[in-house]
Amino acid sequence: MSFSELGLIPEILQAVTDAGYTEPTPIQRQAIPVVLAGQDIMGGAQTGTGKTAGFTLPLLNRLARHASTSASPARHPVRALILAPTRELAMQVFESVKMYSKHLPLRSVCIYGGVDMNPQIQELRRGVEIVVATPGRLLDHVQQKTIALGQVEMLVLDEADRMLDMGFIPDIRRILALLPANRQSLLFSATFSDEIKKLADQMLKNPQLVEVARRNMVSETITHIVHPVSSGLKRNLLAHIVRHEDETNQVLVFVDTKFACSRLAHFLERHGISADSIHGDKSQQARTETLENFKSGKVRVLVATDVAARGLDIEDLPSVINFELPHTAEDYVHRIGRTGRAGKKGKAVSLVSSEERHRLADIQKLIKLEIRQEIVAGYDPEPDFFDGDAGKRRRSPTPASAGRSDERPAPDRKKRSERESSRDTRERPAPRSRQPSHIASDGFDFNKPYEQRATDAPVVDGTRKVDEIPGQKVQRPIAFLLGGLGRKK
């Protein structure tokens, strides 16, 4: 099927051709005709499926009939509102809106917090048809009466599940109350909890369900692997893995806390791996610069918290590494949605210490997949990692045997009450069971602000060597990248 068969106007088809798209993705094939017909949508699609164009193209198509070349602000009322949970996602959606509307006289603006409101007010005053916004800053404008939402015809709520996680649902409800009842609404979410369904019931009228992947499922093109490792050895193992990746491969690393985020990036930097971090405490400008540096390939490793990484649109990212497993299994789905996009092969590597085993069990249950586990030689897990697992201890295979099936039964589950789901708790370290995960074996504390230390690693031939851990012999890297998925029957 081609885009022209979807009934889009020539100006939009031209923009799609300019973007280099030859055919619509499955979500676009499903969503575009429904939106063009004026119907509401409940969309189940994760980032990377092409969902942004799936709602933006038909939205522009519907607004095009009002497009005006007049300079008068009155001829450019806000007709479409797109809400995104984070500044980064809002900016990315805005970039798409600009790209797809470049042949149309429709105006758009992106409004998000953490920056001066005045430039946004100037743009709103000139008149804009499309507003891409984060909920909090939009409400600031509403309060200051710098935006009028009385003529909104179309509403898009993107990444609704993340809105919920971030505590934005009350803000969303306030915004909904300001919009005309007679409007078209589209809701997109990667996962559907009961709360999301409740919100959808309030917000959508006879919605069409548009779904590309099964709920809470992950792309089939992603290879998952778990490296059981003691918490104190994680950062050395991370450096080891990154070093043995193809040098051109960029890696997105997820951590739980903001402190761990910058300290881990500094650790990698000090060991000759170009890295930067992105988290909620960084200014918007710093976050934008970091993201640009990563996208342009200047930085090889980007260390991120879940909140900051939400919505990052980075193409061709071959691997995602979970330095710590997320506290909620759904976040695993979000995290690894950065790789294996648009049918490309991706790899999701997780460094799992014994205190995270219950999180691993939750993830495996959610994604219905038993993840292959391999110990990388020299980076052993805590002695109790396999407790309750009949003492079946697996070593990493040699490269020759790495392709063999090496599935393990899921470890015991701990109580669900141990899981934490709010944004605040997600950015805090896990409950401690033995050595806290933020304290490395050499006493390096990830939760303390970064301080340069002279003796972080021995220098060999001018380069720092990280694979040497006191008292531990360096072993050969293993072919941890090989092997297929162990899928439950």
Write out the residues near ligand AMP by the rule CB under 6 A: 21, 24-25, 28, 47-53, 313, 315, 342
CB 260 within 8 A of CB 277: no
Closer to ligand AMP by Cβ: residue 103 or 413 = 103
CA atoms within 13 A on the CB side of 11: 17
Min dist. Cβ of residue 25 to ligand AMP (A) = 5
The closest residue (CB) to ligand AMP is 52
Min dist. Cβ of residue 51 to ligand AMP (A) = 5
Closer to ligand AMP by Cβ: residue 123 or 211 = 211
Min dist. Cβ of residue 316 to ligand AMP (A) = 10
CA 227 – CA 351 distance, rounded (Å):
5
Strand pairing of 372-373 and 369-370?
Answer: unpaired
Closer to ligand AMP by Cβ: residue 22 or 143 = 22
Q: Which residues contact 174 (CB under 8 A, 6 or more apart)?
A: 139
Closer to ligand AMP by Cβ: residue 88 or 153 = 88
Question: For the residues of 47-96, what is the DSSP string, one character each?
Answer: TTSSHHHHHHHHHHHHHGGG------GGGS---EEEE-SSHHHHHHHHHH
Closer to ligand AMP by Cβ: residue 157 or 233 = 157
Min dist. Cβ of residue 57 to ligand AMP (A) = 9
- Burial grade of 80 (CB within 10 A; 0-12, 13-18, 19 or more): buried
Size of the chain in residues: 489
How is residue 117 written in tokens? Answer: 């409101």
Closer to ligand AMP by Cβ: residue 50 or 381 = 50
CA 348 – CA 143 distance, rounded (Å):
43
How is residue 230 written in tokens? Answer: 């003691």
Q: Which of 69, 62, 61 is nearest to 9 (CA)?
A: 61
Closer to ligand AMP by Cβ: residue 85 or 228 = 85
CA 24 – CA 30 distance, rounded (Å):
9
Q: Which of 49, 79, 51, 62 is nearest to 7 (CA)?
A: 62
Closer to ligand AMP by Cβ: residue 110 or 233 = 110
Min dist. Cβ of residue 93 to ligand AMP (A) = 8
Min dist. Cβ of residue 34 to ligand AMP (A) = 17
Min dist. Cβ of residue 415 to ligand AMP (A) = 35
CA atoms within 13 A on the CB side of 483: 27
Min dist. Cβ of residue 313 to ligand AMP (A) = 5
CB 72 within 8 A of CB 296: no
Min dist. Cβ of residue 363 to ligand AMP (A) = 22
Residue holding tokens 């074996």?
Answer: 441
Min dist. Cβ of residue 23 to ligand AMP (A) = 6
CA 366 – CA 357 distance, rounded (Å):
14
DSSP alpha helix (H) spans, 101-189:
118-126, 135-143, 160-165, 169-178
Closer to ligand AMP by Cβ: residue 48 or 58 = 48
- Beta carbons within 10 angstroms of residue 7's beta carbon: 12
Closer to ligand AMP by Cβ: residue 52 or 257 = 52
DSSP alpha helix (H) spans, 221-336:
234-244, 258-270, 284-295, 306-309, 329-336
